[in-house]
Structure 1
Amino acid sequence: MAELESKKQKLIIDTDPGIDDAMAIFVALQSPKVEVIGLTTIYGNVYTTLATRNALHLLEVAGRTDIPVAEGSHVTITKGTKLRIADFVHGTDGLGNQNFPSPNGKPIEKSAATFLVEEAKKYPGEITVVALGPLTNIALAIQLHPEFTKNIGKIIVLGGAFAVNGNVNPAAEANIFSDPDSADIVFTSGADVLAVGINVTHQVIFTDADREKLAASTCHLAQYLCKILDVYYNYHYDAYNIKGVYLHDPAVMLAAIDPSLFTWTEGVVRVQTSGITRGLTILYNKQKRFGEVTEWTDKPTVKVAVTVDGTKVAKLIMDRLTSS
């Protein structure tokens, strides 16, 4: 048994729960080849304090209060940017306006950045960080300990729009827009980074039929999700005129568990940190050799998702969420 446990993929989920964060966390906890060794929290869908409360609550719902939660940053890395909180997408409580009772658990004393650094040092090369919110905690970990980029296994980022319109404005996707300076630090850090943008996650859709399947499941996690989905559904209908929801966070969790479900390209990614296109992600695909020195010159490359088998990924997510 100990040998089987040691072969599991170790994950730390950096999260701002969030309805689709809840789905992603449950997918990870229901995946037999994954060991979630911690949650770190960040602002985004809600403020950081509420993100921590929601993370503790979701672990209680899942019966996994053994997993530590480390609270992350309450401000952007420059401390100068007003936070954009997407409570209009997920509800003022982040979980569909259900106003669940306060969890019994408490976060650990360590900050998210310290927890990330120490766990990566403890298990060099073995940990995948799944970053579902703004990248402040990851950037702080890089600044705190430069060896973090070598000790961490992979960083899977939900972020960017890569040649499609953003979801905050035409230029930017929400996670990158919320702290573009941190995103640029992470993308140019030299760590093994895989970025999954909304150009790909918009291909993974949770349909009305999926919702009916969820409602028919006897899995208590599925029944819990049914309670919180209305707000998220209504937002998607109003914003995109679709009857369904995009599975951003769960799709990225599947990318962490099985990257072969996606196709990838590789290049240097830089982030616009100010102005009308703040949060814009630009991938240099290296198809042209520029004569001039640019802001992309000699920077480390990352992998960026290009396509996904959306039907297969959606089915795998549903299988995880409906299995008792």
Structure 2
Amino acid sequence: MSQQPIANSQQPTAPRQLLLDVDVGIDDAVMMLYLAAEPAAEIVAVGSCHGNCSAALSAINALKVLEVVGLDRVPVALGAESPLADPMFAAEVHGHDGLADVGLPPPRRNVSGESAVDQILRLSRERPGALDLLAVGAMTNLALALEHDADVLARFRTVAILGGYSRPPRPNDAVTVDPNIYKSPDAAERLFAATAPLFVVPVDTSFHYSELDDDHIARLRASTTPQGRFAWKILPYYFDFYQHRLGRWSSCMHDPLVPAVLLDPTLIAGMVSRPMYVEPVANVHRGVGRDDAEAAHLPPRAPAQIVTAVDKRRFLDRFVDALVTPLGALRPVGDD
């Protein structure tokens, strides 16, 4: 039976305040562009992490994206440069600079003097219960924050992540990768074992419910807004890479799906409540949600709320609307 998401079922009157922990590659960048246009969201601060590129490049890319949408006062903090194990990057997916190698100019400002870990700790204490922590890269910054304060994540309204699988793997699964987990598996396991209001969009959900359709791609191609034009500069590189996997020139919008379902829970068509564990599978690690019977022999931990199905069309419509509508003009969800 589906369970209710952590997020309130009605659209809030005030925007949800978000602390982003991001490895700013292509889909992270378009997620930030979407959030900048979404009236239900306010980006309070950004912390960089490793994953699609190095944490240093991720921070530079975050600054570039924020400039595009006029969010020059949002602080960007530099995160951990290495995972708790060996580093892995994804230049073949996102480009050597993380943003499709299209020759973007450097940002006009620098990262803040605060580390991403210290930023997580500080904001959790300054605004307990008010912030959503949105983590869509490797979980190293979150794990390091837990080393300093075991209760740090419990002070967030939600800790929303992209990663893991909603259930144990099966032999014929089409989806086999779990990059945000295998790039720092020890960090992910610490997160899953922590006390936190954990809200998970797993990769078996994001792969099935976030692939752009041809009509959405056409709308993005024709966009004249700053955020839409920037998105179209970098997305074709992503489409080129995924064409061999998907069989068509497109890609999944993995990262944007996480805040979309957090901000508008009516998009959620299925959800389960299960504890998450990091497990070795085929020489890599992935996060796995296990039901009570499967978890009986494993260390007990609080369940995460795991999204298993989404209204794909409504999600993609809203996501593209945010990129092609002039900044400040996108109407709230349900405001007819």
TM-score (norm. length: structure 2):
0.87
User: 5 Å matches for 1:139-150?
Assistant: 139-150=143-154
Asked if 1 retains the 8 angstrom alpha-carbon contact of 2:164 and 2:289, the reply is no
1:188 and 1:157 map into 2 onto residues whose CA distance is: 14
1:95 corresponds, among 94, 99, 103, to: 99
User: 5 Å matches for 1:87-236?
Assistant: 87-163=91-167, 172-202=177-207, 203-236=209-242
1:27 positional shift: 1.1
Measured against aligned partners, the alpha-carbon deviations of 1:239-291 in whole angstroms (never above 9, x if no partner) come to 3323311010111120221233222101111102x57443222222115684x
- Letter in structure 2 aligned against 1:313: F
**Structure 1 pair 160–275 and aligned structure 2 pair: CA distance change class (3 A):** closer
Asked if 2 retains the 8 angstrom alpha-carbon contact of 1:141 and 1:148, the reply is yes
1:268 and 1:179 map into 2 onto residues whose CA distance is: 19
1:295 positional shift: 2.3
2:255 and 2:170 map into 1 onto residues whose CA distance is: 18
Q: Secondary structure at the match of 2:285?
A: coil
Q: Secondary structure at the match of 2:44?
A: strand
- Letter in structure 2 aligned against 1:248: H
Measured against aligned partners, the alpha-carbon deviations of 1:136-191 in whole angstroms (never above 9, x if no partner) come to 1111112211221321111111001334589xx97540110100111111111120
Asked if 2 retains the 8 angstrom alpha-carbon contact of 1:172 and 1:281, the reply is no
Query: 1:24 aligns to what?
Result: 31
Query: 1:55 aligns to what?
Result: 62
1:309 and 1:235 map into 2 onto residues whose CA distance is: 26
Within the alignment, does 1:46 sit opposite 2:53 as a pair?
yes
Query: 2:9 aligns to what?
Result: none
Within the alignment, does 1:12 sit opposite 2:4 as a pair?
no
1:267 and 1:86 map into 2 onto residues whose CA distance is: 30
User: 5 Å matches for 1:279-294?
Assistant: 279-287=285-293, 290=296, 294=297
Relative CO higher for 1 or 2, CA cutoff 8 Å, sep ≥ 6? 2
1:309 corresponds, among 303, 308, 311, to: 311
CA RMSD after TM alignment: 2.1
- Letter in structure 2 aligned against 1:201: S
List runs of 5+ in structure 2 lacking aligned partners. Answer: 1-11, 327-336
Asked if 1 retains the 8 angstrom alpha-carbon contact of 2:48 and 2:58, the reply is yes
Query: 1:255 aligns to what?
Result: 261
- Letter in structure 1 aligned against 2:191: V
Aligned residues: 310
User: 5 Å matches for 1:72-87?
Assistant: 72-77=79-84, 81-87=85-91
Q: Secondary structure at the match of 2:64?
A: helix
- Letter in structure 2 aligned against 1:24: M
Query: 2:44 aligns to what?
Result: 37
Structure 1 outlier segments of 4+, above 6 Å: none
1:271 corresponds, among 251, 267, 278, to: 278
Q: Secondary structure at the match of 1:245?
A: coil
- Letter in structure 1 aligned against 2:195: G
Query: 1:295 aligns to what?
Result: 298
- Letter in structure 1 aligned against 2:142: I
Q: Secondary structure at the match of 1:157?
A: strand
1:109 positional shift: 1.0
User: Which is further off, 187-196 or 254-263?
Assistant: 254-263
1:89 and 1:59 map into 2 onto residues whose CA distance is: 22
1:275 and 1:243 map into 2 onto residues whose CA distance is: 29
**Structure 1 pair 72–229 and aligned structure 2 pair: CA distance change class (3 A):** same
Q: Secondary structure at the match of 2:74?
A: coil
